Structure formats: structure tokens, C-alpha cells
């Protein structure tokens, strides 16, 4: 059955941290610095929004923090795992164990039904209760009558709800969301956003969300602004200085 973390576990330890994080890529015009010395810490149960203009490096930061990409320099820790020291094989195991994802373009597998999509992360972990867990989650997101529908038979909002159910199916410690409402109309985006926050609260997950929607960012406990590959200090932080 799905596990829910108790209040005591929450806000007790750092789950994601980055130190002097750099990402540099080679282009035909020379070196391009995407991230330039990022330092951050995100604690268990926090909801953090990463905001910034297009090309500021927020999506790259999300990829590196989630172990999808590698940094050129610096250190990244996800729970006890130092991601910078791990190869893709080990990073994949960490992702499977601790991380959930919600993407702007849903990223459901077209050849699988809604139920099969949600079952997938559980199946990958070798859990035998995949189907019952997936059914319970789809029930939570209000898609009980859509279990056998393929993604092409679902609306955008419904697809994102399946994606959210899939993200929580592996009972992750951290949930990374990349513009989760970016492809949805305002009303549907609002409903999806509410669902995401509700489930996050219910499961006690740490949420790291990349968005350029300031209203959505405002619903998070903390906002990290990125510009030119660096973290821009917030007004409160400036004031504290």
C-alpha cells in the first residue's frame, strides 16, 4: 500500500543540495555557461519553485538536481547519494527509488493505457502490487472510469492527472515538476495544480517545481530565482543581509 510520511519525518533533513554547481557546454561559438556556481539546499517536505526567464538555466538545474543530467563542476546530493560521483547506472537506481517526475508535455507512453502507464514505475521496481496501487492512485486523481484509455483518448488535463498519479506511484521522496501546467488552459491548470499540491501534502513529498508562472510559484513555500545561470537573491534575503 501507499506509504505516507508522518509529520515528524518532514522538515527534518536536507534531501537535495547543490554546491558550486556549474554546467558548461561546448558550442560552435565556444563555451556556453548555463549554470554558474549554484549553491542551494532543499529540506524534506519543502515546496520550492524555481523561476526565471527562458534560457536562464532553470530546466538544466532541475535535470541535474534530479540526476537526469551531469554537472560540469560542483557537487549535487540527493538524500545520501552524491550524484556527481555516480554513473548513469547508479543514478537511475536513485531516481527509481526516490524521485518522481511531472513534465510539461506529460510524457505518457502512447502504447500503454492510463493504468499501464501508472503501473510502470511500480513494475520497474519489481513490486507485485503494481496494479492495485495504480488503480488506487487513478481513483485519487478522479480517473476511475478511464483506466483502459490510451493517452490519445484523454484530454490534456486528464493526461496530466495520469502523469501525476504515475509520479506518486513509486512513492517518491522528491517530486520534480517541469512546468506542470504549461500545456494546459488556465482553468485546467488550476485544477491540476491543486491536485499536485494536495497529493504532495498527503504523501509528504518534497516538491521542486520549475515554472515561469509567478502565481503558481507563490503557492510554494520557497522560490529560487535564476538568471544567467546564477541564483538571484530574494528580497528577504537581501534585506537580511
Partner 1 sequence: MNMMLVARMAWRDVRSGEMALLLVALLVAVGTVTSISLFVDRLQSALLEESSNFLAADRQISSSQAIPEAFVQQAQQRGLNTAQTLVFPSMVFAGDLNQLVSVKAVDATYPLRGELIVGSEPFQRGAPTDTVPEPGTVWLDSRLFPAMNLGLGDTIEVGMAQLTVASVLIAEPDRGGSFFDLGPRLLMNMQDVEATEVVQPGSRLSYRLLLSGAEVELEGLREDLPLKPNFNWVSVRESSPRIGRALDRAESFLLLGGLLGVLLAGIAVGLSAHRYAQRHFDHVGVLKTLGATPTQILRGFMSLLLMVGLAAIGLGLLLGSLLHVAIVEILATLIAVELPLPTARPFLLGAATGLICALAFAMPAFIHLKNVEPMRVIRRDLGVAPLSRWLSYGAAAGGSLLLLVWYTKDFWLTLWTLVSIVSICVVFGVLAWALLKGGRVAGMQAKSGWRLALAGLQRRRAENTAQILIFGVAIMLLLVMVLIRTALIDFDRLGLDSMDLDPAVRRQLVTLLDNRGNPETVLQDLGSVFGEQPVFAELGRVCDQIGAAAAEQGVTIQLDPTFQPHFELYTGLVFQLVCDGIAAPVVIARGGRYDELVRRCGAAEHMGYGAGFSLAIDPIRELINDTNPKATQEADILVAFSTATRLETAMARQRSWHEQGRVAVMALEPLESKEMAQQLANEKGSVQLDWIDP
Q: By C-alpha distance, which of 30, 23, 83, 81 is closest to 55?
A: 23
Per rule CB under 8 A, is residue 68 in the interface with partner 1?
A: yes
| 69 touches partner 1 (CB under 8 A) | yes
- Chain-centroid distance of CA 232 in Å reads 21
Choose between 120 and 224: whose C-beta lies nearer to partner 1: 120
- How is the beta sheet containing 230-232 ordered, strand by strand? 99-102, 174-178, 206-210, 47-52, 222-227, 230-232
> Cα–Cα distance between 22 and 89 in angstroms, integer?
22
Angle between helices 130-140 and 114-124 (to 10 degrees): 130
Answer yes or no: are the C-beta atoms of 31 and 24 closer than 8 Å: yes
Is residue 95 involved in binding partner 1 (CB under 8 A)? yes
Span near partner 1 by CB under 8 A; candidates 33-41, 99-107, 192-200, 233-241: 99-107
Taking contact as CB under 8 A, which single stretch among the options 14-22, 77-85, 112-120, 182-190 is the one that binds partner 1? 112-120
Nearest CB to partner 1, comparing residues 103 and 197: 103
Residue ranges that bind partner 1, judged by CB under 8 A: 59, 62-63, 66, 68-69, 88-89, 92-93, 95-97, 99, 101, 103-105, 107, 109-112, 116, 120-121, 123-126, 166, 170, 178
Amino acid at each position: 500500500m501507499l506509504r505516507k510520511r508522518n509529520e515528524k519525518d518532514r522538515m527534518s533533513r536536507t534531501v537535495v543540495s547543490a554546491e558550486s554547481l556549474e554546467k558548461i557546454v561546448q558550442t560552435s561559438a565556444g563555451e556556453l555557461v548555463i549554470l554558474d556556481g549554484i549553491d542551494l539546499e532543499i529540506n524534506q517536505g519543502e515546496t520550492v519553485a524555481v523561476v526565471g526567464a527562458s534560457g536562464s538555466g532553470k530546466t538544466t538545474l532541475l535535470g541535474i538536481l534530479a540526476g537526469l543530467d551531469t554537472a560540469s563542476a560542483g557537487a549535487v546530493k540527493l538524500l545520501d547519494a552524491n550524484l556527481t560521483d555516480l554513473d548513469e547506472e547508479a543514478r537511475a537506481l536513485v531516481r527509481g527509488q526516490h524521485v518522481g517526475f511531472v513534465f510539461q508535455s506529460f510524457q505518457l507512453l502512447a502504447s500503454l493505457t492510463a493504468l499501464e502507464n501508472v503501473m510502470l514505475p511500480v513494475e520497474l521496481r519489481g513490486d507485485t502490487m503494481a496494479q492495485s496501487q495504480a488503480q488506487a492512485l487513478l481513483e485519487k486523481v478522479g480517473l476511475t472510469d478511464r483506466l483502459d484509455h490510451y493517452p490519445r483518448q484523454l484530454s490534456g488535463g486528464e493526461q496530466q492527472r495520469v502523469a501525476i498519479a504515475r509520479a506518486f506511484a513509486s512513492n517518491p521522496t522528491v517530486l520534480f515538476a517541469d512546468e506542470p501546467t504549461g500545456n494546459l488552459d488556465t482553468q485546467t491548470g488550476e485544477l491540476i495544480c491543486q491536485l499536485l499540491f494536495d497529493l504532495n501534502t498527503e504523501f509528504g513529498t518534497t516538491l521542486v517545481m520549475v515554472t515561469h508562472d509567478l502565481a503558481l510559484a507563490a503557492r510554494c513555500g520557497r522560490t529560487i530565482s535564476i538568471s544567467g545561470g546564477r541564483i538571484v537573491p530574494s528580497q528577504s534575503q537581501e534585506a537580511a543581509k
